[in-house]
Structure 1
Amino acid sequence: MFDLSLSIVSYNNKHTIEECLDSLYKTQLGKLTLQVFIVNNSQTERCEDLEKKYPVKVIQLPKNEGFGKGHNAVLTYLDSKYHAIVNPDIIFTGNILENLVEALQNNPEVGCAAPLMFNENGIQQDVYRREITVIDLLARYAPKFCQSFPFIKKHNYLHLMKDVSKDKPFECEFIQGSFLVVPTQLLKKLNGFDDRYFMYAEDADLCKRIRQTHKVMCFPECKIIHKWEKASHKNFKLCKIHFASLVKYFCKWGWRVW
Structure 2
Amino acid sequence: MEGMSAPELSVVIVSYRCADLLAECLDSLGESRSDVQMEVMVVDNASGDDTVAVARSYEWVDVEALDDNVGFARANNRAMDRSRGRAVLVLNPDTVLPAGSLRACLDYLWQHPDIGLLTPKLVDREGRLDRRCHRGYPTMWSSFCYFTTLDRRLKGPRSRWYTMGHLPEDEATDVESVSGAFMLMPADAMRRVGGFDEQFFMYAEDIDLSLRFIEAGYRVWYWPGVEVVHVGAGSNVAGQRPPAANAAYFRTMAPFIRKHSPGVRGEITALAAWGAGELMLAATEARRRLGRGA
**Normalising by structure 2, what TM-score?**
0.78
Deviations 1:79-122 (A, max 9, x none): 11000011111011121111111111111100000111111111
Task: Identify, as 1 or 2, the structure richer in helix.
Answer: 2
Q: Aligned in 2, Cα 1:149/1:118: closer, same or farther, shift over 3 Å?
A: closer
The alignment partner of 1:139 has SS state of helix
Equivalent position of 1:188 in the other structure: 191
- Work out the CA distance in 1 between the residues paired with 2:58 and 2:140: 46
Query: Higher mean Cα deviation, 85-94 or 231-240?
Result: 231-240
2:245 to 238, 242, 255: 238
Equivalent position of 1:215 in the other structure: 219
Work out whether residues 171 and 217 of structure 1, in 8 Å CA contact, stay in contact via their aligned partners in 2.
Answer: yes
Flag structure 2 segments of 5+ consecutive residues without an equivalent. Answer: 1-5, 270-294
| Greater relative contact order, per chain length (Cα 8 Å cut-off, separation 6+) | 1
1:138 to 136, 141, 144: 144
Work out whether residues 157 and 164 of structure 2, in 8 Å CA contact, stay in contact via their aligned partners in 1.
Answer: no
Asked if residue 171 in structure 1 is aligned to residue 174 in structure 2, the reply is: yes
- Work out the CA distance in 2 between the residues paired with 1:188 and 1:198: 21
Work out whether residues 145 and 160 of structure 2, in 8 Å CA contact, stay in contact via their aligned partners in 1.
Answer: no
- Work out the CA distance in 2 between the residues paired with 1:150 and 1:121: 25
Work out whether residues 4 and 84 of structure 1, in 8 Å CA contact, stay in contact via their aligned partners in 2.
Answer: yes
Work out whether residues 210 and 216 of structure 1, in 8 Å CA contact, stay in contact via their aligned partners in 2.
Answer: yes
- Work out the CA distance in 2 between the residues paired with 1:52 and 1:149: 47
The alpha carbon displacement at 1:140 in A equals 4.7
Q: Aligned in 2, Cα 1:162/1:51: closer, same or farther, shift over 3 Å?
A: same
The alpha carbon displacement at 1:249 in A equals 1.0
Q: Look at both structures and tell me which one has the larger radius of gyration over its CA atoms.
A: 2
Equivalent position of 1:41 in the other structure: 45
The alignment partner of 1:2 has SS state of coil
Deviations 1:147-166 (A, max 9, x none): 68758x65333432233233
Equivalent position of 1:6 in the other structure: 11
- Work out the CA distance in 1 between the residues paired with 2:146 and 2:105: 31
- Work out the CA distance in 2 between the residues paired with 1:172 and 1:148: 19
The alignment partner of 1:160 has SS state of coil
Q: Aligned in 2, Cα 1:150/1:14: closer, same or farther, shift over 3 Å?
A: closer
Equivalent position of 2:256 in the other structure: 249
Deviations 1:180-202 (A, max 9, x none): 10111222233310010010111
Q: Aligned in 2, Cα 1:40/1:147: closer, same or farther, shift over 3 Å?
A: same
- Work out the CA distance in 1 between the residues paired with 2:237 and 2:168: 28
- Work out the CA distance in 2 between the residues paired with 1:49 and 1:123: 29
1:86 to 91, 111, 121: 91
2:72 to 64, 67, 74: 67
Work out whether residues 12 and 80 of structure 2, in 8 Å CA contact, stay in contact via their aligned partners in 1.
Answer: no
Q: Aligned in 2, Cα 1:149/1:179: closer, same or farther, shift over 3 Å?
A: closer
- Work out the CA distance in 1 between the residues paired with 2:237 and 2:162: 21
The alignment partner of 2:110 has SS state of helix
1:142-161 alignment to 2 at 5 Å?
150=154, 155-161=158-164
1:240 partner amino acid: A
Work out whether residues 198 and 241 of structure 1, in 8 Å CA contact, stay in contact via their aligned partners in 2.
Answer: no
Q: Aligned in 2, Cα 1:43/1:26: closer, same or farther, shift over 3 Å?
A: closer
Count of aligned pairs between the two proteins: 253
Q: Aligned in 2, Cα 1:240/1:157: closer, same or farther, shift over 3 Å?
A: closer
Work out whether residues 28 and 95 of structure 1, in 8 Å CA contact, stay in contact via their aligned partners in 2.
Answer: no
Task: Identify, as 1 or 2, the structure richer in strand.
Answer: 1
Cα RMSD for the two superposed structures: 2.4
The alignment partner of 2:87 has SS state of strand
Flag structure 1 segments of 5+ consecutive residues without an equivalent. Answer: none
